[in-house]
Amino acid sequence: MRDNENYWKRLRRRPVSRRSFLVGSGVAAAGSAAILAGCGDDDDDDDTAAPAATQAAAQEQAAAATEAAADEQAAAADEAAGDEQAAAEEAPVDSKRGGTLKLWKTEEDAGLDPGVFHLNNTEVIYSTMTQPYTYQPTKNVFAMDGMVGFEQVDPTTFVWSIRPGMKFHNGDPVDAEAVAFSFGRLEKLYRALDGTHTTRTGFAFVDSFDATDELTVTENWARPNADAPVYRARHYYSFVNPRMVEEHGHFEGSYEHADGTVEDVYSIQELPAGSGSGPYTMTRRDATGTRVERWPDYHKHTPADDGFVEDGPYIDAWETRVIPDAVAAKAAFLAGDLDVFASIDPLELPEFEGLDHVNVVEVPAGGRSSQGMDGGKFHDKRSRQALQKAFDYEGFIAAIRPLGGKLNAPITDLLPAYQKLSQQELAQWYRFDPAEAQALWQAADFVHPVENIKIFQATGAPLQHEISDFMAQSLAKALGPLGITTEVEAVDSNSWAARAVDRSTDVKDWEILSYGTGDAGGTSGVPNDSHLIHYDPRAYGFNAFNHYAESPRPEIAAGAAEIIELLNAQEAETDPEARAELLTGVQTWILDNHWCNWGLPISTVSYYGFSSRLQDQGIDNWLNHYDRRRESMWLQS
């Protein structure tokens, strides 16, 4: 055999130099880039055109949004609902049936028991379980689902009428025993687990839930509560099959009744088939997401309230993908692979414009951008006040809120019946004054000296990083002359949550807990959820911010006692006007005492993206906490 006929020898005679390889790669990369650039945007506008247009639009929109009043919010929601209803009525019912709604979430759920968690799992809970009803805050409408009615017999007695003929997915009847069990287990789970994610303010005032007859449940309260009806629309109050809890439940601990008897408490985090009675059953739940499919034996809604249809739901299945990266999710949405993309940044709106398959809805923002302060370290009011004086509110709005921002009161202004503080009034407390901040800091007492302020946040929302960065810079500029340094630490959301509520020592391993980007819309409809629980010494004030009645710091303990009294008083007041006055008092107290948590300026408007094939989505349902519980939604083929 001749040498040059040997393949290996021929190959060896023509080695490719590393340099040639690099140069070749460079040329290929440059060529690819040129091709990509050539295939890109055909728009001949100059580079600054898009941002300039965005800014101009932003200013106009900001001005318009700032002027928007609560009535207009309701009117807009009504108008949107009216348009949707008109569109829905035009299409024949048969053409509305079918299809798969495609959703996304950033992480897997950590459990599906509606009485324990409410993180990354609501798409399953709302679709596979039945709640008493939905509540639409802007319209102040209750739409009946598992209940057909309710009546407040006297200030402390509430009676429910259950929809007849309902069954759990395994055929067990949904009766008063099951409903009373479902509601009553919330307090027991809360006690057994020493706190859950459920808002205890929704059931702490209840003495008992009793099955009066087969389809009637009576709530007996220890004291009046103005928000009870709204609370019952939350997913915590889903109907859970007692037999499934008994057979498949996981032991969580014990609960001691008032008479001294002890009861074992079980959770049902896997939600096995038969646990719920909702319109769908779960067919997949893994690391990639969840899928629920229509349950053929679902009960009829006769007559059907807003958001329900007699023979619903129209959509066959919901597919929820886990997409940790919001940018990837946006790309999927723009490509038509997702039906909903919330929290669109105003600056990226141009990407959503001119697309036939995308429908962007502008709504007033109502979320929070919270900065929880560790009461173990910032026990002296002056230290908390110093932090708030060291923050540049106007600079923050200019940098972070491109369409304009507004100061955030402890209660969202999407509840105009309760939130009466004007922006001018709020500006008294939210004022940037570095000199005063330094004076207050120096005068403040610190049991644990603070030399470095760590702002602790979860990774995930890109805007959260910008907010923390701005906070760190602002505090460093104002308090830096005193030798105070700042830093930002970002960890995954599970680690963040664990460290946020870690109570193993009397101080946290962070100084400020940063969460919420303040660019989301919506409210649950009650002032406690929106957003007094962030200040409540029995809620986040206790487990996250070390602001609680049993605090070893006397000032904190005294403050907690005061605010609990104020919170209880407003909660028990059923007259809206009198309650609004009490709530103004609560807010003023919080702001005067710089208590526990401080809300940064939020966006004036919020943008939600929907695929244009999704019809009658009910914007109100997506803005409040009962999103997706709308069986009249349908997908245009």
Partner 1 sequence: MSQEQTTAQEGQAAEAALALEYAIPPRQRFNPFKWARREPFGAFGLVLIGLVVFLSLAAPVLRTSPPNEFAVGPPLAGPNADNWFGTTARGKDVWSRVLFAGRISLKIGIATVLLGTLGGTLIALVSAYAGGAVDFAVGRIADMFISIPGILIALVLHSSISADLPDLPGLQRQELYLVIAISLFFMPGTYRIMRGTVLELREATYVEAAQVVGSSSFRIMWRHVAPNMFGLMIVITSISLPAAILTEATLSFLGLGVPIGGLDAVPSWGADLSGSSRRFFSVAPWLAIFPGLALAITVFGFNIFGDSLRDTLDPRLRGRI
Measured between alpha carbons, how far is 612 from 608 in angstroms, rounded to an integer? 12
Is residue 347 close enough to count as binding partner 1 by CB under 8 A? Answer: yes
Q: Is 516 in the site for partner 1 (CB under 8 A)?
A: no
**Least spacing, CB of residue 504 vs partner 1, in Å:** 15
- What is the phi-psi region of residue 491: left when phi exceeds 0, alpha when psi lies from -120 to 50, beta otherwise? beta
Residue with tokens 């700032």: 66
Min dist. Cβ of residue 38 to partner 1 (A): 14
Does residue 471 belong to the site contacting partner 1 (CB under 8 A)?
yes
Strand partners, 280: 294
**Dihedral sign, CA of 385, 565, 202, 193?**
positive
Span between the terminal Cα atoms of the chain, in Å: 68
Task: Choose between 43 and 356: whose C-beta lies nearer to partner 1.
Answer: 43
Contact with partner 1 (CB under 8 A) among 350, 433, 501, 589: 350
Does 490 bind partner 1 (CB under 8 A)? Our answer is: yes
- C-alpha pair distances (Å), 357 with each of 173, 205, 342: 42, 47, 15
The residue within the footprint of partner 1, chosen from 1, 4, 18, 504 (CB under 8 A), is 18
Specify the residue, 23 or 427, whose C-beta has the smaller distance to partner 1: 23
Nearer to partner 1, 53 or 572 (CB): 53
Task: Return the residue of 232, 299, 330, 379 that touches partner 1, per CB under 8 A.
Answer: 330
Nearest approach in angstroms of CB 48 to partner 1 is 4
Spatial CA neighbour of 630 closest among 242, 190, 195, 80:
80
Q: Which of 412, 393, 605 is nearest to 525 (CA)?
A: 412
Told to check if 324 binds partner 1 by CB under 8 A, we report: no
107 binds partner 1 (CB under 8 A): no
Find the binder of partner 1 among 243, 432, 480, 572 (CB under 8 A). Answer: 480
Does residue 455 touch partner 1 according to CB under 8 A?
A: yes
Q: Of the candidates 11, 23, 69, 561, which one interacts with partner 1 according to CB under 8 A?
A: 23
Which of 24, 51, 149, 155 forms a contact with partner 1 (CB under 8 A)?
51
CA distances from 15 to 7, 22, 26, 28 (A): 13, 14, 19, 20
Count CB neighbours of 136 within 10 A.
Answer: 24
Does residue number 60 form part of the binding site for partner 1 (CB under 8 A)?
no
Which phi-psi region, left, alpha or beta, contains residue 111 (left: φ > 0; alpha: ψ -120 to 50)?
left
Q: If binding is defined by CB under 8 A, does position 47 make contact with partner 1? A: yes
Q: Please, what is the minimum distance in Å from the beta carbon of residue 384 to partner 1?
A: 20
Q: Is 466 in the site for partner 1 (CB under 8 A)?
A: yes
- Minimum separation from the CB atom of position 477 to partner 1 (A): 7
Q: Among 105-113, 227-235, 441-449, 489-497, which window interacts with partner 1 (CB under 8 A)? A: 489-497
Q: Does the protein bind partner 1 through residue 54 (CB under 8 A)? A: yes
Between 82 and 481, name the residue whose CB sits nearer to partner 1. Answer: 481
Regarding 43 and contact with partner 1 (CB under 8 A), the answer is no
Amino acid at 529: D
Residue 425, H or E segment:
helix 423-429
Nearest to 307 by CA among 133, 151, 170: 133
**Which residue, 51 or 164, has its beta carbon nearer to partner 1?**
51
Spatial distance between the Cα atoms of 338 and 101, rounded to a whole number of angstroms: 8
Smallest separation, CB 488 to partner 1 (Å): 3
* Residue of the chain from 165, 462, 552, 576 that contacts partner 1 (CB under 8 A): 462
How far is Cα 86 from Cα 88, in angstroms, rounded to an integer?
A: 5
Q: How far apart are CA 334 and CA 611, in angstroms?
A: 9
326 near partner 1 (CB under 8 A): yes
Question: How many chain residues touch partner 1 (CB under 8 A)?
Answer: 52
* Under rule CB under 8 A, residue 50 binds partner 1: yes
Rounded to the nearest whole angstrom, what is the least distance from the CB of residue 142 to partner 1 in the complex?
38
Give the nearest distance from C-beta 377 to partner 1 in angstroms. Answer: 18
Rule CB under 8 A: say whether 358 interacts with partner 1: no
CB–CB of 622/608 below 8 Å?
yes
Q: 531-570 burial, b for 16+ CB within 10 Å, e for fewer?
A: bbbbbbbbbbbbebbbbbbebebeebbebbeebbebbbeb
Residue numbers 366-405 binding partner 1 by CB under 8 A: 395, 398-400, 402
> How far apart are alpha carbons 430 and 447 in whole angstroms?
26
CB under 8 A: which stretch of 14-22, 87-95, 96-104, 594-602 binds partner 1?
14-22
Our finding on whether 495 is near partner 1 (CB under 8 A) is yes
Residue 464 and residue 515: Cα distance in Å, rounded? 7
CB-based contacts of 159: which residues, under 8 Å, 6+ apart?
A: 150, 151, 152, 153, 212, 216, 217, 218, 219
Name the E strands within 419-507: 452-458, 485-491
Residues near partner 1, by CB under 8 A: 15-19, 21-23, 26, 46-48, 50-51, 54-55, 326-327, 330, 345, 347-348, 350-351, 395, 398-400, 402, 455, 459, 462-463, 465-466, 468-473, 476-477, 480, 485-491, 495
